[in-house]
Amino acid sequence: MTRAAFIIGPSRSGTSVLALALGRHPRIEATEELHFYNLLQPAAVADGHGKEWLWARLCAIQDEGRFFEIKSGSLAELPNPASEDLPGAETPLLRGFFDRLARNAGAATVVEQTPMNLYYRDEIRRDFPDALFFLMRRDPRAIIASQKMRWKVGAHGQREIPARDLARVRHSGHPILQLLLLRKTLQEVRLAMGEPDVVPIAYEVLVTDPDRKLAELAERLGHEYDPAMRDVSDGGSSHTPEGGRTGFDTQRLEGWRKSLTATEIWLTERLYRDELVMPATGARPRVGELLGLLFSLPRALAMALYYSAGGYGNLVDAARRRFL
């Protein structure tokens, strides 16, 4: 039976780079962000679609990189998979999909990397009773800075990110909006840390000591460490252009100092002092800038909601999990 692990945590906390590292092990297959529990499955339930519909979209995301088309609803109808490709009625659909990935890759373990699965741990446990959760943690200032600069990922990587999604991340990256969203996320992180199947991972430790940390995680999955795991690319950085480099770059740990203003640093340190990994800076706010952030917040929130419409299978349920 395929071993399953789910990388969870705040968005921009290092979930993608951990998936890249684990996926470089010859016996571990890392998936794309499948968004099964927060998008695909709720959409299937709401619209009355069956497992053929779900399977086809899982394949389109994993094999063809068509997540943005699926998320926006612009994807043309996909052909139904052959019945022999689908798991039996007794096997949860995503588990069957993981088995398919493992067979095709010659892997024993499949690792999924959707950060939003932080809010769907109970649903995952019903489908994967023996799963592990790798919980990423990161200094809140680095998370806020990465969210603020996230729109630059497309420019740095020259990726084809749809204009609607680019607009969404630019508006949702408003620092105060992200600080508000982070409150519930960190509450969920604290809850998850006390659960026996959750393995907490500090991004800062992963970057400064990747061999030791990746060896620990490989062992938890039943594998020996492979040094190739540390040779990840620099793709996906919101602070620096992607230059084709490999390896963990400790200079990125300080990137938030350049990306955030003194006011934004002050706000983050005031609200999340207990979550800081690096020492507080003692930054002071600028009154004019603080007022500007507050004044611009309502528009940023409205535009973020507008551009997020359709991005969740069940927007009401997603909002409840993220805010309440």
Tens of pLDDT along the chain (324 residues) come to 799 999 999 999 999 999 999 999 999 999 999 999 999 999 999 999 999 999 999 999 999 998 988 887 777 788 889 888 899 989 999 999 999 999 999 999 999 999 999 999 999 999 999 999 999 999 999 999 999 998 776 554 445 677 778 888 889 999 999 999 999 999 999 999 999 999 999 999 999 999 999 999 999 999 999 999 999 975 555 545 545 568 898 888 999 999 999 999 999 999 999 999 999 999 999 999 999 999 999 999 999 888 877 666 565 666 666 666
121 alpha carbon, distance to own chain's centre? 14
Question: Whole-prediction pTM value?
Answer: 0.92
pLDDT of residue 158: 44
| CA dihedral of residues 160, 301, 296, 157 (deg, nearest 10) | -20
Range(s) of the domain holding residue 142:
3-323
Q: d(Cα 242, Cα 239) in Å, to the nearest integer?
A: 9
Residue 235 confidence (pLDDT): 58
**Which pLDDT score is estimated for 313?**
59
Domains: count for the chain: 1
What is residue 152's DSSP assignment?
H
Q: Alpha helix locations (H) across the chain?
A: 15-23, 41-47, 51-64, 67-72, 93-105, 121-127, 140-148, 152-157, 163-172, 175-193, 203-208, 210-220, 256-259, 262-271, 287-308, 315-323
pLDDT number for residue 214: 98
The domain that holds 239 is classified in CATH as 3.40.50
